[in-house]
């Protein structure tokens, strides 16, 4: 019987002994902590670094130096020359333009014919008014004659009645005596007395009728005379309408406007012509409403007509603003430069006041008086400019008072720097 096969036992070797792995967790944690610390340190250092300032071309900037001394406050605005006196000639009645002998620019005198109109209806109305006046005058003559005749007839009847009354009174007195003597009866005497009384009463009434007739005649005559006067006024008005068809100049001057053409129909009140006096002009300026708060009458002003300067004073300030500006009239002094004419575009400057010993600088873009702005102030070497807050005071056309934020000798940028609102400093080159 064969022997079972023996499996040899494994032999233990030094190489096969398991080794214990080293603990590296602490080192990894230390490395991670060191990395995080490095990142935090770098981030902190980067946050402490200033961002690079943008570069601005020095030649594109407007700079000025803060000064201390007198400052003249002025306001400026555009305007036009306008006549002090303008005569507008309007139509008194409707009509068609038939003749225009003159054109704008012509010299005119009082009574110069500027235009001729025509309207047949106006002529017919004038003729009818004259006819009515003639008829009223004729009626007045007839009424005076009738009133005089009635008065004379009444006076004649009154005279006859007075004579009859006197005779009746004498007869009554005589019959009364005869009746006492028995010559006549008492009845006849009473009849004579009653007849005398009747005639006295009739005389009284006739005198009253004479007053009524005379007064009525006067009233009728006066009423007709008033009607004649009314018709005279109507005739004068109609004649004036007819005469107004010849449009005449009222004042001496220059024909400025004549906006009509031949054949054009005009209505009452329509502008026919404008006459101005070119040697009496004033300037009307349009001052921005933000600068007009300190304006007052009689302030000195200077008007630039492009051909010369003319001095003047403020004569009127409009009580309301129109489209962001206030109208100011300047009364001009002295002779006007050559070429000055109505509607000429000018520019005027009004002097408000003179300030002594104030800190001022050129007016920055968009700056408002008594406000606050942020300006870029140049460093001493002039290579950089830093943003500073500046409080402003009173302002002028091109200068403004500094109340806080800058000192004498500081240089600031006055140009519009809104493109660099996100930075506090800029570099200049």
- CATH fit for domain 120-244, picks 3.30.70, 1.10.287, 1.10.730, 3.40.1000: 1.10.287
* Residue ranges covered by each domain of the chain: 58-82+277-428, 86-118+247-276, 120-244
User: 299-334, pLDDT tens digit by residue?
Assistant: 999 999 988 899 999 999 999 988 889 999 999 988
Mean pLDDT lowest for which of 46-55, 221-230, 256-265, 417-426? 46-55
Instruction: Report the pLDDT averaged over residues 25-47.
Output: 67
User: How many other β-carbons are positioned within 10 Å of the β-carbon of residue 224?
Assistant: 19
- Given a cut of 70, whether residue 426 has pLDDT beyond it is yes
Residue 225, phi then psi, degrees to nearest 5: -65, -40
Cα–Cα dist 210/156, whole Å: 10
Question: How many residues in the chain?
Answer: 429
H-run or E-run covering 272: strand 271-276
- CATH fit for domain 86-118+247-276, picks 3.40.190.10, 2.40.50.100, 3.40.50.2300, 1.10.1240.10: 2.40.50.100
- Given a cut of 70, whether residue 405 has pLDDT beyond it is yes
> Which pLDDT score is estimated for 25?
64
Reported as a pLDDT band with limits 50, 70 and 90, residue 17 is: low
Cα–Cα dist 210/254, whole Å: 67
Q: What is the mean pLDDT of the chain?
A: 84
> Which pLDDT score is estimated for 45?
60
Residues 6 or more apart in contact with residue 151 via CB below 8 angstroms = 210, 213, 214, 217
Quick one: CA dihedral 12, 13, 15, 19, positive or negative? positive
The SS3 of residue 261 is: coil
Beta strand 95-99 with 309-317: parallel, antiparallel or unpaired?
A: unpaired
* CATH number for the domain whose boundaries are 58-82+277-428: 2.40.30.170
> Which pLDDT score is estimated for 116?
94
Residues 6 or more apart in contact with residue 207 via CB below 8 angstroms = 158
Cα–Cα dist 64/359, whole Å: 13
Say what the pTM is: 0.56
The SS3 of residue 169 is: helix
DSSP code per residue over 187-211: HHHHHHHHHHHHHHHHHHHHHHHHH
Quick one: CA dihedral 102, 103, 106, 111, positive or negative? positive
Reported as a pLDDT band with limits 50, 70 and 90, residue 101 is: very high
Reported as a pLDDT band with limits 50, 70 and 90, residue 2 is: very low
Nearest-5° angle of CA 339, CA 345, CA 349? Answer: 105
Cα–Cα dist 83/63, whole Å: 42
374, 388 in Cβ contact below 8 A? yes
**Rg of the chain, C-alpha, whole Å:** 57
Instruction: Report the pLDDT averaged over residues 246-253.
Output: 90
292, 326 in Cβ contact below 8 A? yes
Of the segments 91-100, 136-145, 218-227, which one has the largest average pLDDT value?
A: 91-100
Residues of the chain above pLDDT 70, percent: 90
Residue 373 or residue 172, greater confidence: 373
């Amino acid at each position: 019987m064969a022997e079972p096969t023996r499996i040899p036992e494994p032999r233990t070797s030094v190489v096969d002994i398991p080794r214990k792995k080293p603990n590296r967790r602490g080192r990894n944690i230390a490395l991670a902590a060191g990395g995080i610390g490095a990142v935090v340190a770098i981030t902190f250092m980067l946050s402490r670094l200033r961002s690079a300032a943008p570069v601005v071309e020095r030649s594109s900037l407007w700079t000025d130096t803060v000064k201390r001394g007198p400052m003249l406050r002025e306001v400026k605005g555009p305007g036009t020359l306008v006549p002090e006196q303008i005569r507008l000639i309007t139509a008194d009645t409707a009509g068609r333009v038939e003749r225009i002998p003159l054109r704008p620019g012509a010299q005119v005198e009082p009574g110069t014919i500027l235009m001729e109109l025509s309207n047949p209806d106006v002529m017919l109305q004038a003729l009818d008014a004259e006819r009515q006046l003639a008829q009223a005058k004729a009626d007045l003559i007839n009424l005076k004659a009738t009133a005089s005749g009635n008065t004379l007839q009444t006076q004649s009847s009154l005279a006859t009645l007075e004579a009859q009354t006197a005779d009746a009174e004498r007869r009554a007195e005589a019959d009364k005596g005869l009746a006492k003597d028995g010559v006549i009866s008492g009845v006849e005497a009473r009849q004579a007395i009653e007849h005398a009384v009747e005639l006295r009463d009739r005389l009284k009434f006739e005198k009253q009728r004479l007053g009524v007739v005379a007064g009525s005649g006067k009233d009728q005559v006066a009423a007709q005379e008033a009607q004649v006067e009314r018709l005279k006024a109507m005739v004068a008005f109609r004649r004036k309408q007819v005469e107004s068809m010849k449009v005449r100049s009222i004042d001496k001057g220059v024909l400025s406007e004549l906006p009509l053409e031949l054949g054009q129909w005009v209505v009452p009140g329509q502008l026919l012509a404008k006459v101005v006096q070119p040697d009496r002009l004033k300037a009307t300026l349009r001052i921005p409403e933000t600068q007009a708060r300190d304006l007052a009458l009689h302030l000195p002003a200077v008007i630039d007509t492009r051909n010369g300067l003319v001095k003047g004073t403020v004569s009127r300030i409009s009580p309301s603003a129109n489209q962001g500006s206030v109208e100011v009239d300047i009364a001009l002094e002295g002779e006007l430069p050559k070429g000055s004419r109505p509607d000429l575009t000018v520019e005027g400057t009004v002097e408000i006041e003179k300030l002594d010993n104030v800190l001022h600088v050129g007016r920055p873009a968009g700056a408002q008086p008594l406000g606050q702005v942020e300006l870029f102030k140049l460093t001493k070497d002039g290579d950089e400019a830093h943003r500073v807050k500046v409080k402003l005071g009173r302002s002028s056309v091109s200068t403004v008072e500094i109340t806080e934020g800058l000192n004498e000798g500081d240089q600031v940028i006055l140009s519009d720097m809104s493109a660099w609102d996100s930075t506090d400093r800029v570099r200049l080159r």
